[in-house]
Amino acid sequence: MRLILLGPPGAGKGTQAARLEKHFGIKQLSTGDMLRAAVASGSEIGQQAKAVMERGELVSDEIVVGIISDVVDQDEVANGYILDGFPRTVAQAEALDAMLREKSSKLDCVVEMKVDDSVLVARITGRYTCAKCGAGYHKEFQKPQTEGVCDNCGGTEFKTRADDNEETVKSRLVAYHAQTAPLIDYYGKKGLLRSVDGMADIDEVTKEIVSVLEKVKAA
């Protein structure tokens, strides 16, 4: 199964992608994670992306399309994948279509996670991850069971993203509405779009997405 999770920053794409990865045995491909790894490694791409990401703007289509075209060819995604944070512009969506056509492959579904802007800033500015395994938490909405200890790996060090501050979040929302939201219409016209309520409780959202995808699989 090949799918896209579409939604604004803070909609819960990363959280749900990690759960779907386990449920369906398909790989999460997050361009944000790949770019953060590139920034951390100091590679040429990382150097080009760093300042753009810190401003909350979008990295060039050329860079992200290049990154994605490298990974969708790998054996580990032969079973399928969940695109998280890609495509983010119509040009990226068109490049993805061309990539898939070339491989005689296709998307099965685009899941839009609908969340009101009013809650996104609070969601993003409170989130943090385990420095060891990357499990995601939130100061208010998703605390670890034991304070200061990761539920998943027992790690005790946590980190926050450089772009998860209020000012950058606002720019990221502007970028989402101007450049990414048109994809709702793009995939709607192709008959691939399914929308879920991203405002619901995390487990509820997972159930809804799994149910949507089971129906798509069975069709």
Residue 73: which residues within 8 A CB-CB, separation 6 or more? Answer: 103
SS3 91: helix
Task: Tell the residue number behind the tokens 């953060």, with chain if given.
Answer: 36
Query: For residues 43 and 211, which CB has a smaller minimum distance to ligand AMP in the complex?
Result: 43
Among 26, 64, 113, 150, binds ligand AMP (CB under 6 A): 64
User: Residue 49: which of 131, 163, 160, 218 has the closest Cα?
Assistant: 163
Query: For residues 179 and 206, which CB has a smaller minimum distance to ligand AMP in the complex?
Result: 179
Piece of the chain touching ligand AMP by CB under 6 A; list 69-77, 80-88, 96-104, 209-217: 80-88
> Is 186 near ligand AMP (CB under 6 A)?
no
d(CA 216, CA 219): 5
Catalytic residue annotation: 13, 88, 127, 161, 172
> Is 31 near ligand AMP (CB under 6 A)?
yes
> Is 109 near ligand AMP (CB under 6 A)?
no
Query: For residues 112 and 163, which CB has a smaller minimum distance to ligand AMP in the complex?
Result: 163
State the SS3 of 3-31.
Answer: EEEECCCCCCHHHHHHHHHHHHCCEEEEH
H-helix or E-strand spanning residue 70: helix 61-71
> Is 52 near ligand AMP (CB under 6 A)?
yes
Among 7, 12, 56, 155, binds ligand AMP (CB under 6 A): 56
> Is 53 near ligand AMP (CB under 6 A)?
yes
Minimum CB–partner distance for residue 170 and ligand AMP (Å): 12
- Measured from each CB, the residue nearest to ligand AMP is 32
d(CA 139, CA 74): 36
b/e map 79-103, b = 16+ CB within 10 Å: eebbbbbbbbbeebbebbeeeeeee
Among 7, 8, 12, 85, binds ligand AMP (CB under 6 A): 85
Q: Which residues bind ligand AMP (CB under 6 A)?
A: 9, 31-32, 35, 52-53, 56-59, 64, 85-88, 92, 163, 172
